[in-house]
Amino acid sequence: MDASRGPPRVKNKAAAPQQISAEQLLREAVDRQEPGVQAPTQRFADLEELHEYQSRKRTDFENYVRRNRLNMGNWFRYAQWELEQKEYRRARSVFERALDVDPTIVQLWVRYIESEMKERNINHARNLLDRAVTILPRVDKLWYKYVYMEEMLGNIAGTRAVFERWMSWEPDEAAWGAYIKLEKRYGEYDRARGVFERFTIVHPEARNWIKWARFEEENGTSDLVRDVYGAAIETLGEEFMDEKLFIAYARFEAKLKEYERARAIYKYALDRMPRSKSATLHKQYTTFEKQYGDREGVEDVVLAKRRVMYEEQVKENPKNYDSWFDYARLEESSPSSSPDRVRDVYERAIAQVPPSQEKRHWRRYIYLWIFYALYEELQARDMQRAGAVYAEALKLIPHKKFTFAKVWILKAQFHIREGDLSAARKTMGLAIGMCPKSKLFRAYIEMELKLFEFTRCRTLYEKWIEWDSGNTSAWIKFGELERGLDDVERARAIFELAIVQPVLDMPELLWKAYIDFEEEEAQEPEEYERPRALYERLLEKTDHVKVWISYAHFEINVPDPSAPDSEHASPEAIKRARAVFTRAHGLYKEKALVEERVALLQAWKGFEDTHGTEEEREKLAKMMARRVKKRRRLDDDSFEEYMDYVFPADDEGSAKMGKLMAMAQKWKKEQEAGGGGA
């Protein structure tokens, strides 16, 4: 056959007229099997040949289990073969060796136990079951087999003892149900009640209490049923209330035609359960009132007029947070409202998450969480719920896009009021790590300052300026902290590091704080060189008039070393301050900065009025600017009037210069005329 041609093609793909099933093919293969191909039937001539065969098989099995001890199939086949040979002791040996390999294989125990039970070795089986449940107490299959065997043997006391051992491990609900059914089968109802009591302690779900109540309804009295329901309500409490329990209780009372009792049960549940967890309960109560009550009974479950109004508003627009605020305030201030009803309003309100992750849409919404937490803490006095509200609020906020520092701070303050300082620090640390903000740093530092944890404050300031090196307030507060701790050199280093930052939001405040710091720290005359040098460095960066005025005021306030307690400025200080004013005036005059020059002269005038002589005041009066009205031409050839400043000293100097130039020109002409005549 040519391989290049590919596989043969089927020309006719239609179904064959006579169909043959797979089962028929297998059956015919067995029936038509030739005798020579069939599995041989081994016959043994004597006992010695049988023993030789058994020895050979055991050798093979031993080789199998030696090669792969963890393969339980080999052990199972080995043990089963020994059982077929009626070698029960050898089979037990194989099982025991397999258990030594891995005693946690449930199927191994089951095979071992079933082999003993099959051979009616009851004591062996009982011992094995005891060992199995001791090693694997959480495997229900072994326990079920144990109690089944004991009950089938009629050993009810032993069965009960096994159940007691089993129940000590607190198994699932099915195991308790099996124990209860055992006691019911033999009419031990008091014992069954005891089991139910322990059952509801281990599994206190509402459905298990309902099972107990139905048991008492079938086998006990109505008083016992009421006792069960009462114990269930008391045990579960308000936190784990379940509407199914109250519905079953009310239906039982209605069945006994105790309608007032049923109504009281419904009202009790509705007053304590939130609306979100009692929708079915409301429907059942309405149905009950329609069947057994009157119109007033139906109206008792309906909210008051204002509540209905708020319900309509929030239903029409669930994202109207102002309506939720009013609704919650109404429930909080109403004497008839229970904490659960207020919580229900808040839970429904906070479920209305803003549709977009834009902070402006969340500003009103986040206050729902804040008011909820404050209500739990201040009115409900439920600190655990208050902490949970704060935690859920922080989980909901998309911190990667924006955050609310107020929530973090309020949560930390809540922990402080609770006396849990580590939780407060953890909250603030998490806030700074996830979404750092200046407000968070300030609040955290303020908290640590009140606790006198100055080392933590230093660390926080370092992280703050590392995150935002251009924040002037952070640098200033850091320096003030070090100064307050009497670490002047550290404070000076912080200020030096701050003023060399390339970008600062308010550099003028930083320089002022640094200069004020050096000025306040200066005690000796030579120490005043530090703030003076800072002023000079600042003037290299800016020509602002306030800097010059502040510089002059600083110089006038430098104390005289010869008379440190004198209230009047020393002549040297006045001279230095006047020199500062003179430098500034010359600079502004050179750069033609009119507004700055006017402001400087006004400050200079105040200085001379206080510290200057009459001669200096007269000299300065000639330099003062005069405000005049001028006209200028606009683009459309019209004129407008404006106010301008004129400096008489500049005009006087210009006039003198003009006269000098005229005389020089006249002299030049005379010289030229004299030379021409010669």
105-151 pLDDT, tens digit each: 888 888 888 888 888 888 888 888 888 888 888 888 989 999 998 88
Residue type, 284: Q
Measure the CA–CA gap between 242 and 419, rounded to whole angstroms.
Answer: 34
Tell the burial category of 140 from Cβ atoms under 10 Å away from its Cβ (0-12, 13-18, 19+): middle
Measure the CA–CA gap between 630 and 676, rounded to whole angstroms.
Answer: 48
Residues 6+ apart with CB under 8 A from 131: none
Residues 6+ apart with CB under 8 A from 642: 629, 630, 631, 632
User: b or e along 651-668 (b: 16 or more beta carbons within 10 Å of the residue's beta carbon)?
Assistant: eeeeeeeeeeeeeeeeee
Number of C-beta neighbours around residue 164 at 10 A: 11
Higher pLDDT, 623 or 188: 188
User: Can you tell me the mean pLDDT for 647-654?
Assistant: 62
Average pLDDT over the chain, rounded to whole?
82
Taking CA 345 as the corner, what is the angle to CA 344 and CA 351, rounded to the nearest 5 degrees?
90
Confidence of residue 358 (pLDDT cuts 50, 70, 90): confident
> Cα 298 vs. chain centroid, distance in angstroms?
43
- What is the per-residue pLDDT for 565? 53
Query: What percent helix, strand, coil does the chain show, rounded to 5?
Result: 70, 5, 25
Check if the beta carbon of residue 82 is closer than 8 Å to that of residue 90.
Answer: yes
Please check the confidence at residue 306 and state whether its pLDDT lies above 80. Answer: no
37-59 pLDDT, tens digit per residue, is 555 566 666 677 777 777 777 77
Confidence of residue 496 (pLDDT cuts 50, 70, 90): confident
Please check the confidence at residue 662 and state whether its pLDDT lies above 50. Answer: yes
Taking CA 199 as the corner, what is the angle to CA 197 and CA 200, rounded to the nearest 5 degrees?
70
- What is the per-residue pLDDT for 678? 35
- What is the per-residue pLDDT for 651? 60
- What is the per-residue pLDDT for 36? 56
Phi, psi at 642, each rounded to 5°: -150, 160
Token digits for 448? Answer: 């640590």
Number of C-beta neighbours around residue 56 at 10 A: 10
User: Can you tell me the mean pLDDT for 657-676?
Assistant: 66
Short-list 567, 481, 485, 473, CA closest to 512: 473
Please check the confidence at residue 298 and state whether its pLDDT lies above 60. Answer: no
316-349 pLDDT, tens digit per residue, is 888 888 988 888 888 887 766 788 888 888 898 8
Phi, psi at 632, each rounded to 5°: -145, 150
Domain parsing of the chain, residue ranges: 241-293, 564-624, 625-661
DSSP line for 151-206: HHTT-HHHHHHHHHHHHTT---HHHHHHHHHHHHHTT-HHHHHHHHHHHHHHS--H
- What is the per-residue pLDDT for 412? 92
- Report the SS3 class of residue 83: helix
Start-to-end CA span in the chain (Å): 141
Check if the beta carbon of residue 393 is closer than 8 Å to that of residue 385.
Answer: no
User: Can you tell me the mean pLDDT for 669-676?
Assistant: 68
Token digits for 82? Answer: 């020994």
Check if the beta carbon of residue 371 is closer than 8 Å to that of residue 328.
Answer: yes
565-602 pLDDT, tens digit per residue, is 556 667 787 888 888 888 888 887 888 777 888 888 88
Please check the confidence at residue 248 and state whether its pLDDT lies above 70. Answer: yes
Higher pLDDT, 171 or 612: 171
531-562 pLDDT, tens digit per residue, is 888 888 888 888 888 888 888 888 887 777 66
DSSP line for 394-462: HHHS-TTT---HHHHHHHHHHHHHTT-HHHHHHHHHHHHHHS--HHHHHHHHHHHHHTT-HHHHHHHHH
